[in-house]
Amino acid sequence: MRYFLAIFALCVLAIVGVLGFRGSHSRQPSLYIFPDMERQPKLRPQTANAFFDTGMSSRLPVAGTIARSQPVQVGPKLVYPWEDSPVVTGRVPGTTNFVEWNPMPVTAELLQRGQQVFDINCAACHSKLGDGNGTPKRIGAMAVVANLHDKRIVGLTDGELFNTVSYGRNLMQGYAGNLPIRDRWAAIAYLRALQLSRLGSLDDVPEAARSALKK
Q: Which is nearer to ligand HEC, 16 or 120 (CB)?
A: 120
98-137 positions binding ligand HEC, by CB under 6 A = 121-122, 124-126, 136
- Cα 63 to Cα 56, 66, 67: the distances in Å are 18, 9, 11
Closest alpha carbon to 113 in 194, 181, 187: 187
Q: Which is nearer to ligand HEC, 39 or 151 (CB)?
A: 151
Measured CA to CA, the distance from residue 126 to residue 79 in angstroms comes to: 30
141-170 positions binding ligand HEC, by CB under 6 A = 142, 144-146, 148, 153, 156, 161, 164-165, 169-170
Alpha-helix residue ranges (DSSP H) falling in 78-169? 86-89, 108-117, 123-126, 135-138, 151-154, 158-167
> Does 187 help bind ligand HEC (rule: CB under 6 A)?
yes
Q: Which is nearer to ligand HEC, 125 or 181 (CB)?
A: 125
Measured CA to CA, the distance from residue 103 to residue 101 in angstroms comes to: 6
Query: Measured from the CB of residue 149, what is the shortest distance to ligand HEC in angstroms?
Result: 11
DSSP type of residue 120 = I
CB 194, CB 134: distance < 8 Å: no
Q: Residue 73 — φ and ψ, nearest 5°? A: -85, 115
Query: Measured from the CB of residue 100, what is the shortest distance to ligand HEC in angstroms?
Result: 15
> Does 194 help bind ligand HEC (rule: CB under 6 A)?
no
> Does 189 help bind ligand HEC (rule: CB under 6 A)?
no
Q: Which is nearer to ligand HEC, 87 or 161 (CB)?
A: 161
Binding site for ligand HEC (CB under 6 A): 121-122, 124-126, 136, 142, 144-146, 148, 153, 156, 161, 164-165, 169-172, 175, 187, 191
